[in-house]
Structure formats: C-alpha cells, structure tokens
Chains A and B, each alone.
Chain A
C-alpha cells in the first residue's frame, strides 16, 4: 500500500545575511539585481557557511537550513528537535509561510495552520470575546466557524466570567488560556506548533497536551511539533526529526530520535579529559581532570547490559590544599530525568586528599537500568555541600543495550526505567 503523503519538503535551504543592514546591503542588492537582469544566477547563493553559531565564519551569509528533505504522512505527529540555532524555528517559519525558503519547495495536500505563538494579534483593548474572533480569523478561521465553536472555546479556556472584559485586565495566564483555546479548535489538515506548551500552569499544560493528543488521534490530523520539552515530545510524537546545524541528522522513530538528540555531544566516547572547553561551574578549588567508564573486565566501554558492573573512574586535582571533600555522581536518563544521585558519604566513604592529583573509582554493581542512553554528571563540593568546587553536567554518556544475564524478554524504555526481579510467592497456602 502506498503511503498517504500529505506534506513533502524537497531540498529546502534558507540563507540568511549576517550583520547589519546598511550601504553594504544596498551594493549586494544592486549586484544581485544586475545578475538577475542579465539572466544569471544569484551570486550570493554559492557562498555561505554552515550554521554553527559558536564558530567564527568567513562569510557574511549563513545557511540556516541546508537541503532538508522529508515527508509527512497523513495523521502523523512529527516532532522536530534540535539544539538552539539548529534551524527548527526557521523550518517552522517556512512551513507556515511566514518566510520563503531560499531554494527548494514544500508541497502540501492540506491547509496548514501554524501556532508559532499563542495569542498572535491579541489586542488588550478588546474584550475576550472580540479577541477570540480576531485571533481565530488571523489563524484562518471564518467568522461562521468561530461562532459555531465559541461556547466550546470559552469553556475550554475557563475564562467564562471575564469573557466580556478587555484582555488587558486579564492575568497573563488567563490570556494564554484563552489564546490556546482558540488555537485548539482550529481545524486545518496540518497543524504546525512551536513550543507553545511551555506556558500556563501545570494543570493547563496537561490539559493542552491532552488536547494535542486528541487532535492528532481522533481528528486524524497531521501535527508538526517543535519543542524542548522532551517529555511532551515523547508523549505526543510518533516520529522525530533531529536537526543539527541546519541539516537533518536523524529521521525516524521518536525514541531513537530523542536518544540521538540527547547523546549528541559525546555519542561514541567512553573517556574524556576535561579542558578549557568543558562547560563547568564552581570555584575550582578541586577540579575533575578526567573521567572514564569501564566495564567489569576493566575495559573502556560505553555499552552495558542489565546486570553488568559499571566502573566510573575519575581524576581529581587539588588546587588549594583542601584536605577533605565530597563527590556526587548524578545519573540522568536521556530525557534529563535524574535517576541516581550517588554520594561518597552514602557509602560511608570519605575523600581525604594527600596528593595533588588523585584517582578514584566508583563501582556500580549490578546495573539495573532499562536499555537506553544515560548521562553522568560529576559534582565536587566541600564536605557540607555548601560550596561547589566543580560541576560538570552530562560529562559522559553510556548506553544500556538489550541482552545480558537477566534479559529474557524485550524491555522497551517506554514501559519502565528500573529492572527489578523481586522474589515472588503465593500466600494463600
């Protein structure tokens, strides 16, 4: 059976000009126009750096997106993830027709409505009801459509009492609720959403995510969703695209996409020596020099099975003759959920320093984590924990893979996090 492709992006690229608009721009514009008049290609399309915001480029032009190709099936919820500046928002802007791509095209079989912001065009002087109509119309609804859904929208927003009050008297939370309510009742075939769920209180966020799920499941609508909220992405999306520096790094199953995204920096490393480029915080009275992860055979490794032993080996340098200190090791899952917080004192161990540089090994016996990616964070502090000497977030990551001595069934990360095999007994003898 052929797939029902509702949206297709072909070779989408977007070039931006860096720096300020001034006389230089005018000269470029004239040059571009002169090439166009003679029927030649735009001379500035050939140049341009890839989009890596941290490095200094050679060109005034930069490719925010480069050769993006993907297809979306009808009814699919596609998550688009990537670091800041990876090109997510640019892609969404192109999809929602806010800006045009420099090259390439997007073909669509359905109306696209975009929700890049909640409450676009809200006017403080107008009442809630008037704003519902205005905002709905901006998002592409007709007056008739809005009228037929007005009661539902007001009920969903929970602002019934204030609906005839000017919006400028609303609390910011109420404005957002009302605005989201309008958007939630949009009925396009394709809905493009950017981070809008990062608003409102917890209760409303839950309601919003629930509504999103309803939209995609029952409505059979196609949703493209961009967010940094990994939990939301995970619960909503069926497929994921990982963007990095303006190109697609991964396109496929959402769980894999999240793993690819979150293990981005160090996906094949099992040891690291920290240097001036390491992102760290603290007074550096003591600092971590290096970190290694080894398996039970004392071999450097990044892959482990359930039940294996994990050796965390780190070197600590004493910069100010501290005699004692405390070290904490935090292990987080790939969606940034903290799982373990291990401290030396929990194991009745004291770090007493005699040498300038010392090496420690922490053995985590019988690893009970479900398959997936996990990150190790290192923290060095004084013995009371009040002064942080060094804190390196997600210094290394390791992977737990299927297999090992306990595994006799498949263990997807979606069903659990910790593997336990307790004792079972029958008690009605």
Chain B
C-alpha cells in the first residue's frame, strides 16, 4: 500500500472526458486473460445445443458458394477463366465472411454488452477485439474447407496454381479484420444513441457484397459496367478480395496502387473508429 502522501501521487484519475486520443495499451495488456476468455466463450458457446455443432461453420459457406455458382456462373454466365467457378466463389465468400462477421459482431458491441458494461469496468475495446479474434478461428476452419476443395480440384486435374505472394495472405486477412473492427467500432458508437444504424448495417452489408467483387472478377465489372465500375474501384474491400483470389488462385490482377489505397483507408477507418469508440465508452451507458 502506498504510504506516500504527496498530493500529486495519484494512481489514476476519473474525469469527465478521455484525452483526445488514448488507447491505453498497458491496460489492454493487463486484461489479456479476459480477451482470451471471451474468445473461448464465443467459440465454445456459439453452437451449443445444436446437433451439427461446428459443422454449421462449414455448411454456410458451402451452400452459399453452390448457390452463387448456379446463379452467377451457370445462369448469368460470369466467366472465371481457368479456375472452377465453385472454387472461385468459395475463395471470395470465405474472405468476405470474415469481414461480415467482424463488422456485425463489433457493430453492436455497446448495445449487446450493455448489461456487463453497465456493471463493471474493463477496457471496452476488449470486447470488439475478442469478436475479431474468435471470428479468425471461425475463418481458419472455413479456410480449411477451401484448402480441401483446392486439393480435390487439383487432384481431379483442374489447372490450379498458387501465387508466390501467398506468403502475404495473413497480412491481407489482418487488413480485413482491422477494417471490419474499425468500421464496427464506429457504428457501435453511433448505435448507442441512434438505433437507425442497426438497420443500416443489416441491409448495407448485403448491398456491399455486390460491390466487393465477391462473385465476379474486378476486371469484369470495369468492362461490362464502365459507368458504375468506380463504385467497385473505390471500395477497399474489393481490392482485398481480388488480391486474396490472386494469391490463392492466381487469377485477376494485383494493383499496388489499389492496395496502398486500401491500406490507407483501413488505417484511417480504424483510427477514426477507435477515436469515436473511446469517446463513447465513457458515458454510453447513460444513453444506450
């Protein structure tokens, strides 16, 4: 215990507002065990009392890919080059799913955790971080499915090659997570006061998917819809998904300019999200 009585010797101070920018990394580190326990909780409780359990992780992307293949490739006739359309779609969906899960999971942080947040203090950022990490595990499982199908197609004679840039794949996924986290934190802060944003996220994500080059190559939209192509071109998510396919399937193009743009947007979104999140966490409980 502290015997020193000098007036300035306070351990901490509770004040009306956070400093303009304060991500207390030391504090987050102190609570690292909580972060891990939240991740564990999310993973083991998500499919409790279901018959198929973790299989649901696999069923969802597989069925989506099959549907996309039928609609977009067989009916609409989108050309995926030498790559089997199913694999093409599965790659896009797997990466896209990670972003969606991060965004929807973090965007109701304050609302969904109001009961805990209203009773006890811990660095609030732990909660969205745990969502991003537990979704990473889910992504890992879904990625294994992709790998199995990749091997299957390879063995059955499809012309498949990996790109050397694949070693940067984890970095790309980290981008995706950070972008989802930043956007999610931003929205979660707005949702505390204005519930309108909950609805926006709900259908916004649906629309965004069509603008993110999930089920078509980026080049195709530029060619077929030149007047709307910019919508996709200004979407950082489209670059991430296009690059992911480039790394995994060696199709499409890699644009250094596009990736730099994506990096800049990701960092900007993350810091703006963090800023607003920090500002909100102090008194959101009064409005939520």
Let me know if B12 is at the binding interface, CB within 8 A.
yes
User: Roughly how many angstroms separate A105 CA and B117 CA in the complex, as a whole number?
Assistant: 20
Which residue of B has the minimal Cβ distance to A220? B1
Query: Which of A94-102, A157-165, A227-235 binds B?
Result: A94-102
Which residue of B has the minimal Cβ distance to A166? B48
Let me know if A387 is at the binding interface, CB within 8 A.
no
Q: Are B116 and A138 in contact (CB under 8 A)?
A: yes
User: Roughly how many angstroms separate A407 CA and B138 CA in the complex, as a whole number?
Assistant: 78
User: Roughly how many angstroms separate A103 CA and B97 CA in the complex, as a whole number?
Assistant: 44
Q: Are B120 and A108 in contact (CB under 8 A)?
A: no
Against A, the Cβ 8 Å flags (1 = close, 0 = not) of B115-158 are 11111111000000000000000000000000000000000000
User: Roughly how many angstroms separate A292 CA and B105 CA in the complex, as a whole number?
Assistant: 65
Which B residues are in CB contact (< 8 Å) with A29?
Answer: 193
Which A residues are in CB contact (< 8 Å) with B15?
Answer: 100-101, 105
User: Roughly how many angstroms separate A29 CA and B192 CA in the complex, as a whole number?
Assistant: 14
For chain B residues 1-52, which have a beta carbon within 8 Å of chain A? 1-3, 5, 9-17, 30-31, 33-34, 36-38, 40-41, 44-45, 48-49
Which A residues are in CB contact (< 8 Å) with B118?
Answer: 93, 98, 116
Minimum distance in angstroms from A74 CB to a CB of chain B: 6
Which residue of A has the minimal Cβ distance to B193? A21
Q: Which listed residue (A4, A110, A114) contacts B11, Cβ 8 A? A: A110
Let me know if A104 is at the binding interface, CB within 8 A.
yes
Q: Are B45 and A123 in contact (CB under 8 A)?
A: yes
User: Roughly how many angstroms separate A195 CA and B14 CA in the complex, as a whole number?
Assistant: 23
Which residue of A has the minimal Cβ distance to B121? A97
Q: Are A2 and B5 in contact (CB under 8 A)?
A: yes
Q: Are A16 and B11 in contact (CB under 8 A)?
A: no
Which B residues are in CB contact (< 8 Å) with A120?
Answer: 115-116, 119-120
Which residue of B has the minimal Cβ distance to A16? B286
Q: Are B2 and A100 in contact (CB under 8 A)?
A: no
Q: Which listed residue (A99, A111, A138, A189) contacts B285, Cβ 8 A? A: A99
User: Roughly how many angstroms separate A143 CA and B31 CA in the complex, as a whole number?
Assistant: 10
Minimum distance in angstroms from B39 CB to a CB of chain A: 11
Enumerate chain A interface residues (CB-CB to B < 8 A). 2, 4-6, 16-17, 21, 25-26, 29, 74, 93-111, 114, 116-117, 120-121, 123, 125-126, 130, 133-134, 137-143, 189, 220
Enumerate chain B interface residues (CB-CB to A < 8 A). 1-3, 5, 9-17, 30-31, 33-34, 36-38, 40-41, 44-45, 48-49, 115-122, 193-194, 282-283, 285-287
A74-B1, A100-B16 are known; give 20 further A-B pairs, CB within 8 A: A4-B5, A21-B287, A29-B193, A93-B285, A98-B285, A99-B283, A100-B14, A100-B283, A104-B16, A108-B13, A109-B11, A114-B120, A121-B116, A121-B120, A126-B41, A126-B44, A137-B37, A138-B116, A138-B120, A220-B1
A-B contacts, 8 listed (Cβ < 8 Å): A29-B193, A98-B285, A100-B16, A109-B2, A109-B11, A120-B115, A138-B122, A143-B37
